[in-house]
Amino acid sequence: AEWLSSSALLCNTPEWSGDIATVDLSVRNGGHPSTSVAFQFYDDPVISSVNPSLGSSAGGTVVTLLGNLGVPLPKSSCRFGDQRATITWTSESEVSCTSPGGEAGSTVVPSLSLNGVDYVASPYPFRYIEDPEVQSIW
């Protein structure tokens, strides 16, 4: 383990074939009780489709990600590039993410995280376009 601060340690996990493992923590120089917490292992999501692949530069486009996405966890989240997005789980194979605003003509990579930290990038980009402008109505 690597000591990061008085309230954080960084621990590398071994390979694990189960779902849940118990992590035991004890401090050698006394004064602190030992503790155990449950740690959940999961497979990374696999994104096989992004639809639609373009949307308004103003944001608000509901984008569906399909694939083997895993189970919805409390800290699950989407990003478009480095901007977080609202996420709604439909099933273990479908989530909807609402795109934030972006520069028209730019392309970003949608990504999905089950823990809110480690993101898996989609192999399919998302492009921002300008909203059409009505010039006249006949």
Task: Tell me the average pLDDT across 48-59.
Answer: 97
The encoded tokens of residue 103 equal: 């520069």
Look at residue 135 in the predicted model and tell me its pLDDT: 87
Residue 128 identity (one-letter amino acid): Y
Q: 44 in helix, strand or coil? A: coil
Report the C-alpha gap between 46 and 31 in whole angstroms. Answer: 44
How does pLDDT run across 69-97, given as a tens digit for each residue?
Answer: 988 888 999 999 999 999 999 999 999 99
Task: Tell me the average pLDDT across 100-121.
Answer: 95
Report the C-alpha gap between 17 and 42 in whole angstroms. Answer: 9
Place of tokens 């099933």: 91
DSSP class of residue 18 equals: S
Q: Is the pLDDT of residue 30 over 70?
A: no
